[in-house]
Structure 1
Amino acid sequence: MKRLFNRLLPKAWRSNIVTIPVIRLHGAIMAGGSQLRPALSLATTAGLIEKAFALDAPAIAISINSPGGSPVQSRLIYKRIRDLAAEKNRKVLVFVEDVAASGGYMIALAGDEIIADPSSIVGSIGVVSASFGFPELLKKIGVERRVHTAGQNKSVLDPFKPEKKEDVARLKSLQLEIHDTFIEMVKARRGAKLKDEPDLFTGLFWTGKKGLELGLVDALGDMRSVLKQRYGAKTRLKLISAQRGLLSRIGPFGSRGGAAPEMAAATVESVLGAAQERALWSRFGL
């Protein structure tokens, strides 16, 4: 409506200021999260995405800085962006900061164009599952583990039991299916832009500069410079942020009692989440 109104005005009266909504998708991608340590998921990002697309603008800018995480949440975020882009007829420009790898790159595929910093990390088109094994720990500390199941495969890959070849084979088959879905998405979105690189879908990752050569990104640059170059020097960037209510601002620290158990649980969850997120970032030397 605003753009139509501007076109109807005499040229001398028209506003030269273009406002571009900006969404920041920064962090590891996983379901859940907590007040202390939020994570990227459809639940935490859907409101921001819909709010950005509700604005009358020639394009939506998305800043991505993510080492990946849940393939399900990555695809759900990607799909919500593409669905709204089609519904609202909006161009989506994705800007990669430090990392858009694995699930982070899957989300980046939602962009009509992907612009990366030359020194950023892109790619890692693969699937990884990581855990720890403690089969001898309980014996050493004198603890007996008791697991009762209905169904012979309910305790598959139990970290306190020795690893079985058939369990690993089952996990690998699941990973291959997820990997195939990821590859199909990359080919569908990047198409003929992709170069014939044998390691493209092996999980390797590259700098933004090399990613441009491989067809993983469309250009090198930063958000402010690119948007001002395309839409004019007066272009304004509007960061879309979540609106927080009074109770969420007060949080558990501001409640009058009964919050100690919840706070303790949230703290433990936050510590575990931080360790998981740290492991994701460390894969890329960050």
Structure 2
Amino acid sequence: MVNFDCKEHYKFPDLVEIIRLLRSPGGCPWDREQTHRSIRRNLLEEAYEAAEAIDTEDAGLLCEELGDVLMQVVFHARIEEEAGGFDIDAVSDGICKKLIERHPHVFGSVCVSGSDEVLVNWDQIKRKEKGQATTASAMDSVARSLPSLWRAEKIQSKAAKVGFDWPDVSGALDKLREETEELHAAAGGEGDPREELGDLLFSAVNTARFLKIDPEEALNEACEKFITRFRHVEAAAEQAGKPLSSMTLAEMDLLWDEAKQS
């Protein structure tokens, strides 16, 4: 049993202390065994669960999920502190300095005309901080752990900032059509299907960027739509007393068309 006073309400320092106790001798065996690598996925999963709470507009759930994300941050900081590295204060110090540095229009004497100029300044300051002398180096800094659609979008946006972009969506659509044709050819043995599929997806993201559509959200919505329609197909097959496994593709297509109309 560790020495800890339970309270009716807790604050951030209490979270830091709880994580310290969990990692200390006499704490939790599981928590003591964890490393940055072992809980890497936990951090990602908690962030996605917080994003889902935002999507469902559930404030109570968002409060809970943000707590889980915050716990992961404190957990990683504690692991590093035990190894003789940084601690949670260093994390706080770093982000505070970054926010002050990247908001010279708030904490300095820079004047801006609006949000667009804020973003331009932010990008310039970030590139200077990171020593990104070229656009290619800025592209290379986009995290490879991002979902591929988001990573593609960020890379394309960086190219667009230096003028390497179509003038309007028609160019992106033409490229999408071209890549579709190349994938057709590759599927028929005239090229590498994997490479051509990647090019097609990259072009689809570029089209989404022009249309100001989040490609991850669009694909997730397509997934939800597919599930809804497939549920209709299963229900219709069950009502007809015929399992899907015994149906032909043509029969299932008819049920799918019904689902699209419902």
User: Normalized against structure 2, the TM-score is what?
Assistant: 0.21
Q: If each structure's helix is expressed as a fraction of its own residues, which one has the higher value?
A: 2
Q: If each structure's strand is expressed as a fraction of its own residues, which one has the higher value?
A: 1
Q: Relative contact order: is structure 1 or structure 2 higher (C-alpha 8 Å, sep ≥ 6)?
A: 1
Larger radius of gyration: 2
User: Normalized against structure 1, the TM-score is what?
Assistant: 0.19
